[in-house]
Amino acid sequence: MNEMKFFSPDMKMSDLIEINYRLLQVLARLGMNIGFGEKSVARICAESGMDTNAFILICDMYSCPGYTPTGEALKAADPMSVVRYLHNSHSFYIEDGFKALEEIMDELVSPCSDNQKNVILDFLHEYRQEVEKHFEYEEKVFFPYVESVVKGLSGGDYSAATFEENHSNIEEKLNDLKNIVMKYLPPACNRKTASDVLYALFSLSEDLEKHTNIENCVLVPMVNRLEAGKEA
Amino acid sequence: MPSRVMARGIEGVFHDLGEFKVEGIISDFSPREEAILKNMSVDVIIVDPAIFAHSSAGNAKQYISGYTDAPVVAFPSVFMTEEAARQYDAVLSLYDSPADIIHKLRSAVSSPKDSAPTEGSELSAREKDILICVAKGMINKEIADIFNISIHTVITHRRNITRKTGIKTVAGLTVYALLNNLIDASSVE
């Protein structure tokens, strides 16, 4: 049904980036360094210990809106490589994404009254905590479960379905913040910073959306398949 | 849609992205086509305004609205003035990406046309009253009791507040209320 695939193992990594430069952040999170030479996607994946099929799945998820991977594509890819990417992304969001956002947000509201400043910064702070909690759950419960299923061990009562049920929406508040900054910022705010902040918010929210899609449309079905295989 | 290529393009986009489906293609207007239009149950109509260029039917949007309540989205094959564009619920461009097309259709379908921006996207006094209660942490039932309205009405107000502000969460609405001095910090928590 879905013939929108852009990427292949044999293409040059430099072409992959030419097709979608936003994948640079995917590469960075996997420790793939720039300076590809003429190396192919498969070669660079092999060098960094990443399963090529999983890498291509992730790139497709980032690049084709509405793309749902086929059963075959899911079957061919290594779940633990997907987990590795998701785990590294979590670290990136916490250590870089939010830190950068909080810094420019600080700058943005610094000319405001203390009240206004607190209202906005508290909101961001609470949101960050919520996201950290969300990630922590995945890191401590879901990812270890995936690992045990991949190894063929029993995961106890837990299942991917339980994960899906509890997978909360972390983009809603970010979207609210976008609207608040875009529409209702106190006039005293630093207007020059405002567009930087908005840019950061849009790009973070886009990234988180892809991230969630990879969890729900790649990792969960992969685990579902393994779970079914175990029962059969 | 007089152009087969454009119609096929939309079909292709819908096929690939899966959210919408083409129910029928009307390439010109005759009593037969009008009857089809009247009886089609669709969520959205996509029209190339060029279809009306040589007809006496006049305003495309008005004409189509006479047959269906569905939102009408323009997909012009030729240049269209801004004034002409404004009468449609959305305007697609030949250069839009498939995702953009789906996105525009989705918003055209989800925003009831009676709530066009002209009808005022500022919060009404009543909506502000309700927003204050929400920001203070009150639940729908409490709000309904205070204003002596049904919970259903409270929900409708809240939906409108979210539609206008783009803010969905209670925490976000509280920030809005504080920044707009609808409440002061001491009344939260």
User: Residue ranges of the domains in chain A?
Assistant: 13-73, 78-231
Answer yes or no: do B51 and B25 share one domain.
Answer: yes
pLDDT at A5 over 70: no
Q: Are B142 and A146 in contact (CB under 8 A)?
A: no
Contact A176 B99 (CB under 8 A): no
Answer yes or no: do B127 and B73 share one domain.
Answer: no
In this structure, chain B runs to a length of 189
Comparison of pLDDT for A232 and B19, the residue scoring more: B19
Answer yes or no: do B129 and B110 share one domain.
Answer: no
How confident is residue B94, by pLDDT bands cut at 50, 70 and 90?
confident
Minimal C-alpha gap between A91 and chain B (Å) = 26
Q: Which domain holds residue B168?
A: 120-187
Complex-level ipTM = 0.81
Answer yes or no: do B85 and B45 share one domain.
Answer: yes
Mutate to test the interface with B, among A176, A180, A206 (most CBs of B within 10 A): A176
| Interface contacts (A, B; CB < 8 Å) | 65
Mean pLDDT score across all residues of chain B: 82
- Rounded mean pLDDT, A64-75: 84
Interface of B with A in 162-181 (CB under 8 A): 165-169, 171-173, 175-176, 178-180
Interface of B with A in 63-122 (CB under 8 A): 98-99, 102
Q: How many helical (H) and strand (E) elements, i.e. helices and strands, does chain A have?
A: 13, 0
How far apart, in Å, do the first and last CA atoms of chain A sit? 28
pLDDT given for residue B112 in this prediction: 57
pLDDT at B118 over 50: no
pLDDT at A15 over 80: yes
CB-nearest to B17 from A66, A127, A175 is A66
Contact A115 B185 (CB under 8 A): yes
Q: Which of A56-60, A62-66, B96-100, B161-165 has the lowest mean pLDDT?
A: A62-66
Q: Are B59 and B87 in contact (CB under 8 A)?
A: yes
Answer yes or no: do B148 and B64 share one domain.
Answer: no
The count of other CB atoms within 10 Å of the CB of residue B178 is 22
Highest-pLDDT range among A3-12, A196-205, B25-34: A196-205
- Amino acid residing at B125: A
Q: Which of B15-24, B47-56, B66-75, B97-106 has the lowest mean pLDDT?
A: B47-56
- Rounded mean pLDDT, B10-34: 79
- Rounded mean pLDDT, A107-135: 92
- Rounded mean pLDDT, A8-31: 94
Q: Decide: helix, strand or coil at residue A40.
A: strand
Comparison of pLDDT for A159 and B158, the residue scoring more: B158
Answer yes or no: do B138 and B166 share one domain.
Answer: yes
Distance CA B177, CA B131 (A): 7
Answer yes or no: do B27 and B92 share one domain.
Answer: yes
Q: Give the 3-state secondary structure percentages of chain A, helix then strand then coil, rounded to 5.
A: 75, 0, 25
Answer yes or no: do B65 and B157 share one domain.
Answer: no
| CATH number (domain holding residue B170) | 1.10.10.10
pLDDT given for residue B71 in this prediction: 86
Helices (H), B40-168: 60-65, 82-86, 98-110, 125-135, 140-147, 151-165
- Rounded mean pLDDT, A199-225: 91
Answer yes or no: do B138 and B96 share one domain.
Answer: no
Q: Environment class of residue B24 by beta-carbon count within 10 Å: exposed (0-12), middle (13-18) or buried (19+)? A: exposed
Answer yes or no: do B108 and B21 share one domain.
Answer: yes
Interface of B with A in 12-31 (CB under 8 A): 16-19
Buried b (16+ CB within 10 A) or exposed e, A187-199: eebbeebbebbbe
- Rounded mean pLDDT, A181-190: 88
Show the tokens assigned to B83. Answer: 């004034």
Closest CA to B48 of B8, B3, B108: B3
Minimal C-alpha gap between B98 and chain A (Å) = 9
Mean pLDDT score across all residues of chain A: 90
Query: Which residues from A are below 8 Å from B185, CB to CB?
Result: 115, 118-119
- Amino acid residing at B31: P
User: How far from B24 is each of B11, B36, B114, CA to CA, in Å?
Assistant: 10, 9, 26
Q: Per DSSP, what are the bridge partners of residue B135?
A: none
pLDDT at B111 over 90: no
pLDDT given for residue A82 in this prediction: 96
Residue in B closest to A68 by C-alpha: B17
Comparison of pLDDT for A9 and A66, the residue scoring more: A9
- Rounded mean pLDDT, B174-182: 92
Distance CA B79, CA B103 (A): 22
Mutate to test the interface with B, among A179, A182, A217 (most CBs of B within 10 A): A179
How confident is residue A2, by pLDDT bands cut at 50, 70 and 90?
very low
- Rounded mean pLDDT, A24-41: 94
Contact A116 B178 (CB under 8 A): yes
Distance CA A212, CA B153 (A): 34
- Rounded mean pLDDT, A166-180: 87
pLDDT given for residue A155 in this prediction: 65
Mutate to test the interface with A, among B14, B16, B174, B188 (most CBs of A within 10 A): B16
- Rounded mean pLDDT, B111-129: 69
Domain's final residue, options B70, B86, B116: B116
Distance CA A192, CA A103 (A): 14
Closest CA to A125 of B141, B82, B171, B117: B171
Contact B171 A126 (CB under 8 A): yes
Query: Which residues from B are below 8 Å from A172, CB to CB?
Result: 168-169
Contact B179 A120 (CB under 8 A): yes
pLDDT at B32 over 80: no
Closest CA to A137 of A165, A174, A172: A165
Minimal C-alpha gap between A65 and chain B (Å) = 6
Answer yes or no: do B84 and B62 share one domain.
Answer: yes
Query: Which residues from A are below 8 Å from B179, CB to CB?
Result: 116, 119-120, 180, 184-186
Q: What are phi and psi of B48, to 5 degrees?
A: -90, 115
Highest-pLDDT range among A65-79, B38-52, B123-137: B123-137
Contact B98 A65 (CB under 8 A): yes
- Rounded mean pLDDT, A63-92: 91
Minimal C-alpha gap between A3 and chain B (Å) = 8
How many domains are contained in chain B? 2
Domain's final residue, options B116, B140, B160: B116
pLDDT given for residue B93 in this prediction: 87
pLDDT at B36 over 90: no
Domain's final residue, options B54, B89, B116: B116
Distance CA B1, CA B48 (A): 5
Answer yes or no: do B42 and B109 share one domain.
Answer: yes
Name residues whose C-beta falls within 8 Å of residue A197's C-beta, 6 or more positions apart in sequence.
A101, A104, A105, A108, A181
| CATH number (domain holding residue B68) | 3.40.50.2300
